[in-house]
Chains A and B, each alone.
Chain A
Amino acid sequence: MFQNLPLFPAQASGFAGQVDALYFFLIAVSAFFSLLIALLIVVFAIRYRRRSPDEVGAGITGSLQLELLWTIVPLGITMVMFLWGAWVFFTLNRAPRAAMEIYVVGKQWMWKVQHPDGQREINELHVPVGRPVKLLMGTEDVIHSFFIPAFRTKFDVVPGKLTTLWFEATKPGRYHLFCAEYCGTKHSAMIGWVEVMEPAAFQAWLSGGAGEGSLASRGERLFQDLACHTCHMPDSQGRGPVLDGLFGKPVKLQDGRTVVADESYLRESIVNPQGKIVAGYQPLMPTFQGLISEEGVLQLIAYIKTLGPKAAPGPSANEPPPPAKQGTP
């Protein structure tokens, strides 16, 4: 039993090292202060122990210098922690442009994964080593959280939203995937594996069984089935705006704001079209809330992203992967 006692998690992503460095810094600071305080307490308690029943302590009331010292020094140290931590956090929150995209849906109690080329998996995620991967995530019911300890990252999936998470795996292997946000009875069974593969093996795996066509093509079918095309036509004849080339572009809204048409915006436009009305259009579009599954929404998004002039940033889903690029700006 005791040979089986890991004390430190595997490092398998680009920022595992960064997070661990931060961790060791905090451990060092904590160890220093805890030991200092413990030591002082023990020393004082022994050195100045009470020797007679009515002995009293010295008439010391305080010292401004010391107060300043132990206010400013911790303040300085914590500001280092803040800046360093914030910097790592930004890295964690900004997926590089070249990231390969995979769609994830959480539901009680499983993770459903769809690759752009059409592979689907449940409670497993296959990714290539050495390529940034961006997960576009949603949930069908309650909040869950996609957590891969070996990559030192996690992010919640939240009803009504599209959230993202990215990483770049650095070591082939099989790593735990957990649901970290409590989500009901089988929360602890909402687990799986992340399989990091060599690029060639990954390509082989990808071409393994795409059966139902690519994600975008399924989105396209939905686009027809839900009659989106009756309003959104490739030319500006429809009642709704043209969606071709929309992704990644700034959109002027009726209330004067401008937003970028990213995935969250697309999701909101489909599920809750009243939230942001495009300038120059009537709020005609019905809500599709409850009519499309979360997976369907992601398929539609994948489809819209492939539409029209290749102005969208990031490779389109069907292109072969470009060589891994340094993602962090």
Chain B
Amino acid sequence: MHTIATHTRNYINAEYGVMSWLLTRDHKRIALLYLGSVTTFFALGGLFAVAIRLELLTPAGDLVQSETYNKLFTMHGVIMVFFFLIPAIPAVLGNFLVPIMIGAKDLAFPKLNLLSWYIFMIGASFALWAVVNGGVDTGWTFYTPYSSVVSNTQVIAAAVGIFITGFSSILTGLNFIVTIHRMRAPGMTWFRMPLFIWSHYATSLIMVLGTPVIAITVLLVFAERALKLCIFDASCGGDPVLFQHLFWFYSHPAVYIMILPAMGVISELVAAGARKNVFGYSFVAFASLAIAVLGFLVWGHHMFVSSQSVYAGMIFSILSFLVAIPSAVKVFNWTATLYKGSVSWQTPMLYAYGFIGLFAIGGLTGLFLATLGLDVHVHDTYFIVAHFHYVMVGGTIMAYLGGLHYWWPKISGRLYPEGWAKFGALIVFVGFNLTFFPQFIVGYLGMPRRYHAYPEEFQVLNVMSSAGASILGVGYLIPFVYFIWSMRYGPKAGPNPWGAKGLEWTIDSPPITENFVDTPVVTEGAYAYTHERMDVV
């Protein structure tokens, strides 16, 4: 890397003092602000999960009151979804990497980027206010009329929090879209972009097109509750099912906001881990767009037994199967990328393997739910809980951790301890499966979700799940500890510890404030590890 000058100045030590962080416009510093915030929310959401699992150790509802239990899972869901998982990869890794990967000095609108973080924190404050002042008990889905006229908890504060946070997501998406369109370095054509960028582009489309609908929907719940308007309330002839339509119009695409960036991370990990072109690059790139677009057409699969029309159910079912196809394409392409690669067994790859396997199971069980006749039985049981934890925890969090490990040297300039990291990844994998696999079984047996007490015959499976959760908790604690440790004691990383391709590995670790000394000129595709060309067999 002859072109790299060693700068002692980098984005971390460029300026000092709290204000230099709170007023920064550097996308990398903002990424770290988000990293701090979402980690805190993850810990909080995790604490609620621990409480849930403790309660479910015994069939009787003996640890907490049912009111409390209902608040626990609601706040667990709300915090994990809106304040952790949706921002996690885009706002942390995306913020850090999108400009660097396309050879830009920053996002198109740095001030807006900082504003997004403030909006996020303001929204989060409302949600936290709700948590501290008695909590919310509507479930993260806020179904009316329970949320709008019946519940007597802090629905208004939570709704306002989600409304505000939504704008942070919208502005992040907007910033990415404009950046990717307008800020690419010379030579960085669309089909030379890393797949991480493609998937963030697709994610941003969903953020911009979907998030406003959840914003207006929670605003209407707010209006119905606080201003006594009549929108969904059946007592003035309104339709509670309309709320569900509007809610899922966003919230189904939102699950792709959670998974698409994770898929982008996996594409990078697999390419660097196998030192190879991602197999079928353009298919993977277009699969991201296909998921983003088709993802808007399937929301009604959450409403098969909601009294939605049978025909609408059929339309949503068949479209749900269609949206599974691009995901399948991606899984197969990642697997094929390993073929004849130079495959690494370092921690980021372990997480990538974990992701592919667990996402496959999570996604395939999604097919169970898209199957009309089967969903009637498993809807609102623990089968659903297992499905979405497999995709969200087994999928997105695995990818997030894999990505954090992979880019940690770039972010912090230091290496994490590899041995501990492998051990942590193993614990996470084992703990995860022990927690959530039994839930498929107990779900098919018929245990409904959001149950504070349950019949005795479900106990054994629930105890397994709770045991798994404690292992999983330890598994998450391990990286948390050694990442912090490495910031001080980790060995210096150097610009490219993995021998990986990509503009981010051509610059210093940690990078300087405007990323590049001189604007790079790109002359080849994203994963050009070799210039030989070869066929599959």
- Per a CB cutoff under 8 Å, which of A18, A26, A74, A108 touches B328? A74
C-alpha gap A163/B349 in the complex (Å):
50
Distance in angstroms from A53 CB to nearest chain B CB is 7
Interface string of B429-462 (1 = CB under 8 A from A): 0000000000001001110111111111101110
C-alpha gap A34/B67 in the complex (Å):
39
Check if A324 is an interface residue, CB within 8 A of chain B: no
Interface string of A56-70 (1 = CB under 8 A from B): 111111110011001
Given A4-B457, A62-B281, A161-B307, do A19 and B338 touch, yes or no (CB 8 Å)? no
Check if A272 is an interface residue, CB within 8 A of chain B: yes
C-alpha gap A145/B381 in the complex (Å):
11
C-alpha gap A19/B457 in the complex (Å):
22
Check if B317 is an interface residue, CB within 8 A of chain A: yes
Distance in angstroms from A151 CB to nearest chain B CB is 9
Quick one: closest A residue to B326, CB to CB? A71
B373 touches A41 (CB 8 A): no
Q: Which residues of A contact B461 (CB under 8 A)?
A: 5
B373 touches A18 (CB 8 A): yes
Given A6-B457, A147-B446, A189-B453, do A153 and B377 touch, yes or no (CB 8 Å)? yes
A54 touches B239 (CB 8 A): no
Distance in angstroms from B460 CB to nearest chain A CB is 4
Check if A152 is an interface residue, CB within 8 A of chain B: yes
A92 touches B368 (CB 8 A): no
A34 touches B361 (CB 8 A): yes
Check if A243 is an interface residue, CB within 8 A of chain B: no
Q: List 22 A-B contacts (CB under 8 A).
A: A8-B444, A29-B364, A30-B365, A34-B357, A37-B332, A40-B338, A44-B341, A50-B345, A53-B499, A57-B529, A58-B276, A58-B340, A61-B281, A62-B277, A66-B536, A67-B283, A85-B375, A143-B306, A154-B376, A158-B241, A158-B306, A160-B235
Quick one: closest A residue to B373, CB to CB? A88
Q: Which residues of B contact A75 (CB under 8 A)?
A: 321-322, 325
C-alpha gap A62/B340 in the complex (Å):
12
Check if B318 is an interface residue, CB within 8 A of chain A: yes
Q: Which residues of A contact B275 (CB under 8 A)?
A: 50, 55-57
User: For chain B residues 356-373, which have a beta carbon within 8 Å of chain A?
Assistant: 356-357, 360-361, 364-365, 367-368, 370-373
Distance in angstroms from B305 CB to nearest chain A CB is 5
A37, A75, A189 — most chain B CB neighbours (10 Å) = A37
**20 other A-B residue contacts (CB within 8 Å) besides A44-B343, A85-B370:** A45-B343, A48-B339, A50-B343, A51-B342, A58-B532, A60-B535, A61-B280, A67-B333, A142-B143, A145-B380, A156-B305, A160-B235, A160-B240, A178-B446, A180-B381, A182-B143, A187-B66, A187-B452, A188-B66, A188-B453
A4 touches B66 (CB 8 A): no
C-alpha gap A48/B339 in the complex (Å):
7
Check if B374 is an interface residue, CB within 8 A of chain A: yes
Q: Which residues of A contact B329 (CB under 8 A)?
A: 67, 70-71
Distance in angstroms from A57 CB to nearest chain B CB is 3
- A-binding segment of B10-18, B145-153, B198-206, B216-224: B145-153
A45 touches B338 (CB 8 A): yes
B280 touches A44 (CB 8 A): no
Q: Which residues of A contact B340 (CB under 8 A)?
A: 48, 57-58, 60
Check if A205 is an interface residue, CB within 8 A of chain B: no
B70 touches A59 (CB 8 A): no
Check if B419 is an interface residue, CB within 8 A of chain A: no
Given A57-B340, A62-B279, A184-B146, do A85 and B445 touch, yes or no (CB 8 Å)? no
- B-binding segment of A76-84, A114-122, A230-238: A76-84
Q: Which residues of A contact B313 (CB under 8 A)?
A: 89
Given A4-B459, A9-B444, A26-B368, do A163 and B70 touch, yes or no (CB 8 Å)? no
Given A82-B321, A85-B317, A143-B146, do A30 and B338 touch, yes or no (CB 8 Å)? no
C-alpha gap A37/B355 in the complex (Å):
12
- Per a CB cutoff under 8 Å, which of B66, B145, B324, B353 touches A186? B66
B280 touches A62 (CB 8 A): yes
List the 7 shortest-distance A-B pairs measured between CB atoms, nearest first: A149-B446, A88-B373, A160-B234, A57-B276, A85-B371, A89-B372, A57-B341
Check if B335 is an interface residue, CB within 8 A of chain A: yes
Q: Which residues of A contact B66 (CB under 8 A)?
A: 185-189
Check if B331 is an interface residue, CB within 8 A of chain A: yes
Q: Which residues of B contact A33 (CB under 8 A)?
A: 360, 364
B341 touches A88 (CB 8 A): no
Q: Which residues of B contact A189 (CB under 8 A)?
A: 66, 453
C-alpha gap A58/B377 in the complex (Å):
48
C-alpha gap A22/B445 in the complex (Å):
15
Q: Which residues of A contact B357 (CB under 8 A)?
A: 34, 37-38, 41
Distance in angstroms from B85 CB to nearest chain A CB is 21
Q: Which residues of A contact B333 (CB under 8 A)?
A: 62, 67
* A interface secondary structure, majority: mixed
Distance in angstroms from A170 CB to nearest chain B CB is 16
Distance in angstroms from A159 CB to nearest chain B CB is 4
B318 touches A82 (CB 8 A): yes
Q: Which residues of B contact A160 (CB under 8 A)?
A: 234-235, 237-240
C-alpha gap A56/B499 in the complex (Å):
10
B314 touches A86 (CB 8 A): yes
Check if A221 is an interface residue, CB within 8 A of chain B: no
- Per a CB cutoff under 8 Å, which of A22, A49, A188, A289 touches B371? A22
Check if B26 is an interface residue, CB within 8 A of chain A: no
Q: Which residues of A contact B441 (CB under 8 A)?
A: 7
Quick one: closest B residue to A78, CB to CB? B321
C-alpha gap A145/B451 in the complex (Å):
13
Distance in angstroms from B58 CB to nearest chain A CB is 11
Q: Which residues of B contact A149 (CB under 8 A)?
A: 377, 381, 445-446
Check if A288 is an interface residue, CB within 8 A of chain B: no
B positions within 8 Å CB-CB of A? 61, 66-67, 70, 137-139, 143, 145-146, 150-151, 234-235, 237-241, 274-277, 279-283, 304-307, 310, 313-314, 317-318, 321-322, 324-325, 328-329, 331-333, 335-336, 338-345, 349, 353, 356-357, 360-361, 364-365, 367-368, 370-377, 379-381, 441, 444-446, 448-457, 459-461, 499, 529-536
Check if A183 is an interface residue, CB within 8 A of chain B: yes
Given A48-B341, A86-B314, A142-B150, do A37 and B454 touch, yes or no (CB 8 Å)? no
Check if A176 is an interface residue, CB within 8 A of chain B: yes
Distance in angstroms from A12 CB to nearest chain B CB is 12
- Per a CB cutoff under 8 Å, which of B137, B279, B321, B450 touches A61? B279
- Per a CB cutoff under 8 Å, which of B145, B375, B379, B534 touches A159? B145
B240 touches A180 (CB 8 A): no
C-alpha gap A178/B455 in the complex (Å):
10
Distance in angstroms from B458 CB to nearest chain A CB is 8
Distance in angstroms from A143 CB to nearest chain B CB is 6
Q: Which residues of B contact A244 (CB under 8 A)?
A: none
Quick one: closest B residue to A44, CB to CB? B338
Check if A181 is an interface residue, CB within 8 A of chain B: yes
A49 touches B343 (CB 8 A): yes
Check if A87 is an interface residue, CB within 8 A of chain B: yes
- Per a CB cutoff under 8 Å, which of A22, A41, A152, A183 touches B353? A41
Quick one: closest B residue to A55, CB to CB? B342
C-alpha gap A149/B336 in the complex (Å):
41
Check if A322 is an interface residue, CB within 8 A of chain B: no
C-alpha gap A176/B377 in the complex (Å):
13
Q: Which residues of B contact A87 (CB under 8 A)?
A: 373
Distance in angstroms from B404 CB to nearest chain A CB is 21
B143, B371, B459 — most chain A CB neighbours (10 Å) = B371
B338 touches A41 (CB 8 A): yes
Quick one: closest A residue to B531, CB to CB? A59
Quick one: closest A residue to B151, CB to CB? A184
C-alpha gap A179/B450 in the complex (Å):
10
Quick one: closest A residue to B454, CB to CB? A188
